[in-house]
Structure 1
Amino acid sequence: MMQKKSNSYSVLIVVCSLYLSGCAVGNKYKIEDSKIQFTSTGSSTVSVGALDQRPYVIEKTSPVTYIGMVRGGFGNPFNATTNNGLPFSDNISKSICLSLADKGYNVKQVILTPELTEEESIKRIIAQGQDKNIIVLIKKWESDVFMNFNVSYELLLKVISSKGEIIAEAKNKEEINASGSIFKEPIGLSKSEVPRIYKKSLEELINNPRIINALK
């Protein structure tokens, strides 16, 4: 009798693990709809680029669309990516461009690839000939979903003059840990939380008083 129960539990564990693995595959986060609010106004011209410096992206072990991972029933990780198929860095620069444009700035998005160095990226941004320039360095951004939901990120934003001088910079770094509930399991929770955290992280960065003053 005990042997039958043991076998039943083993089968149940395998079935649940396979089910979770199925849920973990192909997850995408809709960050492109996160409207970033900039609290100041202006009319100057600004170029914006974001450089992905995450080691796992540079080394090409994760794609440029990588946002994080969702783990299957055995803890095996599957990539979670951007919903629109654009690189994560392009989503960031586009979000900032849209927020500045809403406040009167004349903005230009500059596409940067992970192969570029910071110096090369800054030269490419400045070459657009705008009054002010912004580069966002993505040092870290990764969500991790299994039994719980975690996000860790580190972003550095620099405002640069047309001559290449750094006018101001701001850093935003955080580690977030959250648990699912009976009403919302971790994968479901991540679908709403990742876009919210994305929006929050960029708003805190660009609305730093040093950044606002530098863009005036």
Structure 2
Amino acid sequence: MYIIGLIDDEESELKKIRRVIKTLCKDETYNFKSYLVPNKTENLVETMFAEILEDIIHERISSLIVDYKIMVEATKVQGTEILKMIKDKVPKFPVIILTEIVEESMQPIYVDADKVYRKKDFFKIEEDYAKEKVYNIFDSMKKYVNQRDSLETSIKDFKERFLNGENMSNVIPNILTLESKLNDFVPVDQTQIDKVFDVNKAKEIVKLIERANEILE
């Protein structure tokens, strides 16, 4: 099941987003998680990011739709601040900015213009714009989840080969490469190699084996 995370400071807007998606997408299994916007601006972005990151790590959300302008205590918090923190940590995670201020939202260099949707057009269910954007949301989620799952499956397969005694020089570099790629989808504190033994030792062992092979050649 796909879980779409939602951030907006107005419940009425959240209801509109859910209504558009539910109306235009009936062929997929999905649900929503609405993030509570703290009522104080202090550390707001960091607090929300920590919760979102935890959900990404544990695969509890598949994408995020965030309002560009979040009002708290008469202070405007930009949704792109949350986007930047996510992109810095999990660059492949799909995030959509929903806003009436499209041009301003697209100014930061880390914002993908294709991922900024105009609210008033998105809410027009009968229009092609809304249909196209909802399709794109699910297309991005599918690609993200499929690539993430594929990397996790490949790592699991190589781990099994490693535990079954296959040559470390063949297995460990592949695991390290795959985990480096996976980190763009799901940040991992402890790698599969770490779970078996110290990763630095693993790298040193691989280097020694490679050097030995070069000498033998």
TM over 0.5: no
Structure 2 length-normalised TM? 0.32
Give the number of the structure with larger relative contact order, counting CA–CA contacts within 8 Å between residues 6 or more apart: 1
Structure 1 length-normalised TM? 0.32
